Structure formats: structure tokens, C-alpha cells
């Protein structure tokens, strides 16, 4: 089979297409023919060395596809089943091994590319809006990078809960996409300093701070997010697209109005099988009933994985980025 292999850390050019032996499932594992693989920012962190990985490795954890074979002791899955996961062992490939207990069935009515495009970000949006800070009707959420894959999902779920969304984008084209997703107010964060951005968010919210800021951008927007909160508001910092956030003195949270700051990650919200099934099931149901509309911004063949990483890091994409073997 063909797979992307990283043998050294560095820029996107280290993503090289190689021929590998077909994998074989061990006990409790599935062998999956990859229909589509999600490309996510965490893979750029791993490739660059921000997050440590043992070399060589095949990137990627998110995929949807068809089961080719099952390992010893697997129950509930059989060859021919369509499955999705965020825990594959190298999804940038034509075939991948998936732990059976981390796979979920893809229901009829959800195509394979949509399943690959939504699972990681969909379950992340689910835990952020249902568990980390459950938005209620009448509350206001600040959503950064509102035209990105995560931002579009967060916007739709906050609106479905009856909340108001103030979204930030970096261009007029992206502002239009965020508007179509339902954002009530859109602010171009590339046109303001941190202090000005926070002030503009408050102005768009009737002079009041927001109840929650969902911030996957990181260093570039953290200060504005903190300053845009109302007393006892929560900053949910869930990503580092612009780089990691510097250390923060806890006293600042008190001075800002007894604020809350959390840095969650999906793994801790789907650790139990029951919780994984709940979140994935809700995401697929929301696609089927129209609550969520999934935007696939770009698809690339495996041979263009490096270009997919460049475009993602340079913010040239909107919606979800996929590799299609």
C-alpha cells in the first residue's frame, strides 16, 4: 500500500509518499480501507516537533472507510462495515489499523467523506458546547476563526442552543462563510490590536462581555479573548493554531472578574466507550436532521499531503481539509 511517512521533523516537505507493507490487524483491531482521512492542526505540530513523535511514523488519526478484516476477539464489526475513528494508527495511508473499541459505525445517510470530515471536529464542538461550557439560550459566545472547520461547527451548535455568536475571521471571503453559518456578528481580527479587538467585541455585544470565548487560535487571540469576557466568564483555549499561549498568572483571572480558564482536549472527553458513542452518535444525528451542515473546504490526494499542510497553516482553507487516497 501507499502511505505518507515522516522520517525527520521539519516543514511540510518531510511528508513523503512511500510504499509500505499492507498492515494486518492484531487482537482487538480492525484493518480499514481508508476512504478519506481528516487533516488536522495537531498533525502540523507533530510534524514540526512541537509535539513529540517517534520517528519514522505515518501521520493522521482521523478517518472513515470500510472494514477489510477484523482481528481476534473483535465483536460488533465485520468486513464491509463502514466505520470512522479519531484514533487510527496512521490515517495518511490507503489502509490503516484502528482499535475496534475506538471505532464507531457510520450510519446510512452520512457519506464516507462527510464522516471523515466531521468526527474529530464534530465531537470537539460537541464537548465544548455540551460539557466544557454548555451554552444556554440568550448567552453570547465569541468564536475565533469562525470560517474554519471548528468555527463553523461551533457557530451552528451555539445557534442551535439559542445563543448569540460573535465570530472573528481574517478576510471578507471568510466573513461571508461565517455569516452563512449563522454568526450574528463578524469581526475582522486582522484589522485590530488585542485591546481594540476586545473593545470591538464588547461594542458588538451591547457593551457587555461575552459568556464564553472558544479560542482555537492560541497566542494571537488569547489576550483579546480574556479581555472580552464578562465577570465569571470562561475562556476555553482548545488549540494553538498561531502558536502556544505564554504562561498566565492566576491573579489575572481574579483581576479580570473572577474568570475561568480551561485548556481541554478531546481525549479526556471520549475516554469511556459510552461517552465516545454518545458524542459521535449526536454528531451523526445532527448531520442527518440538518442541525449541522458540513463544509469540506478542500480535498487532496495522498501525494499532495505537504500542500495540504501548507494551505492549512497559511490559512488558505475554509471548512475541513481531507486527504483522499
pLDDT digits (tens, 9 = 90+) for 28-54: 999 999 999 999 989 999 999 988 999
What CATH number has the domain spanning 137-263? 3.40.50.720
Domain 2-119+295-323 CATH superfamily = Medium-chain alcohol dehydrogenases, catalytic domain (3.90.180.10)
pLDDT at 57: 98
State residue 152 phi and psi, 5-degree precision: -65, -40
Percent of the chain with pLDDT over 70: 100
Q: Is the pLDDT of residue 124 over 90?
A: yes
137-263: same fold as 2-119+295-323? no
pLDDT in tens, 53-102: 999 999 999 999 999 999 999 999 999 999 999 999 999 999 999 999 99
Predicted local confidence at residue 105, as pLDDT: 98
Report the distance separating Cα 83 and Cα 98, nearest Å. 10
Q: At what angle do helices 149-160 and 172-181 cross, to 10 degrees?
A: 30
Distance CA(147)–CA(30), nearest Å, equals 34
Positive or negative torsion for Cα 110, 114, 115, 119: negative
* 20 pLDDT more than 90: yes
Q: What is the value of pTM for the model shown?
A: 0.92
pLDDT at 296: 92
What are the residues whose beta carbons fall under 8 Å from the beta carbon of 121, sequence distance 6 or more? 38, 40, 149, 150, 153, 320
Domain locations in the chain as residue ranges = 2-119+295-323, 137-263
Question: pLDDT at residue 242 above 90?
Answer: no
CA distances from 78 to 68, 74, 75, 119 (A): 8, 9, 8, 21
**pLDDT surpasses 90 at 244:** no
- Which among 18, 29, 96, 15 is positioned nearest to 61, based on CA atoms? 96
Q: Are 238 and 212 in contact (CB under 8 A)?
A: no
What is the average pLDDT value for the chain, to the nearest integer?
Answer: 96
Q: What is the mean pLDDT of residues 153-180?
A: 96
pLDDT at residue number 10: 97
Q: What is the pLDDT of residues 182-198, one digit of tens each?
A: 999 999 988 898 889 99
pLDDT of residue 288: 96
Residues above pLDDT 90, as percent of the chain: 90
- With bands split at pLDDT 50, 70 and 90, how would you rate the model's confidence at 106? very high
Q: Tell me: the pLDDT tens digits for 222-240?
A: 999 999 999 999 999 999 8
- What is the model's pLDDT at position 315? 82
What are the tens digits of pLDDT across the range 252-306? 999 999 999 999 999 999 999 999 999 999 999 999 999 999 989 899 999 999 9
Q: What pLDDT shows up at residue 241?
A: 82
Asked whether residue 149 carries a pLDDT value surpassing 90, the answer given is no
Amino acid at each position: 500500500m501507499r502511505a505518507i511517512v515522516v522520517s525527520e521533523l521539519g516543514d511540510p516537505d518531510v511528508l513523503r509518499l512511500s510504499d509500505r507493507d499492507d498492515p494486518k490487524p492484531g487482537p482487538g483491531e480492525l484493518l480499514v480501507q481508508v476512504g478519506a482521512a481528516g487533516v488536522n492542526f495537531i498533525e502540523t505540530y507533530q510534524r514540526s516537533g512541537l509535539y513529540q513523535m517517534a520517528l519514522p511514523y505515518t501521520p493522521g488519526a482521523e478517518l472513515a472507510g470500510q472494514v477489510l478484516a477484523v482481528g481476534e476477539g473483535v465483536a460488533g464489526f465485520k468486513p464491509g462495515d463502514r466505520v470512522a475513528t479519531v484514533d487510527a494508527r496512521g490515517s495518511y495511508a490507503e489502509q490503516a489499523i484502528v482499535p475496534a473499541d475506538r471505532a464507531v459505525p457510520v450510519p446510512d445517510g452520512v457519506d464516507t467523506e462527510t464522516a471523515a470530515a466531521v468526527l474529530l471536529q464534530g465531537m470537539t464542538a460537541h464537548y465544548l458546547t455540551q460539557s466544557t461550557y454548555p451554552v444556554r439560550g440568550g448567552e453570547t459566545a465569541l468564536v475565533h476563526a469562525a470560517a474554519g472547520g471548528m468555527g463553523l461547527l461551533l457557530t451552528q451548535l451555539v445557534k442551535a442552543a439559542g445563543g448569540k455568536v460573535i465570530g472573528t475571521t481574517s478576510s471578507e471571503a471568510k466573513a461571508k462563510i461565517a455569516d452563512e453559518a449563522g454568526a450574528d456578528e463578524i469581526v475582522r481580527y486582522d484589522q485590530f490590536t488585542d485591546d481594540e479587538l476586545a473593545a470591538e467585541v464588547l461594542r458588538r455585544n451591547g457593551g457587555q462581555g461575552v459568556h464564553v470565548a472558544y479560542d482555537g487560535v492560541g497566542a494571537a487571540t488569547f489576550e483579546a479573548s480574556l479581555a472580552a469576557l464578562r465577570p465569571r466568564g470562561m475562556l476555553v483555549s482548545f488549540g494553538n493554531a498561531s502558536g502556544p499561549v505564554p504562561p498566565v498568572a492566576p491573579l489575572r483571572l481574579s483581576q479580570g472578574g473572577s474568570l475561568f480558564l480551561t485548556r481541554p482536549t478531546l481525549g479526556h472527553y471520549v475516554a469511556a466507550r459510552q461517552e465516545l458513542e454518545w458524542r459521535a452518535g449526536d454528531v451523526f444525528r445532527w448531520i442527518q436532521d440538518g442541525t449541522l451542515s458540513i463544509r469540506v473546504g478542500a480535498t487532496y490526494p495522498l501525494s499532495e499531503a505537504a500542500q495540504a499542510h501548507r494551505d492549512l497553516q497559511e490559512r488558505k482553507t475554509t471548512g475541513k481539509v481531507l486527504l483522499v487516497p
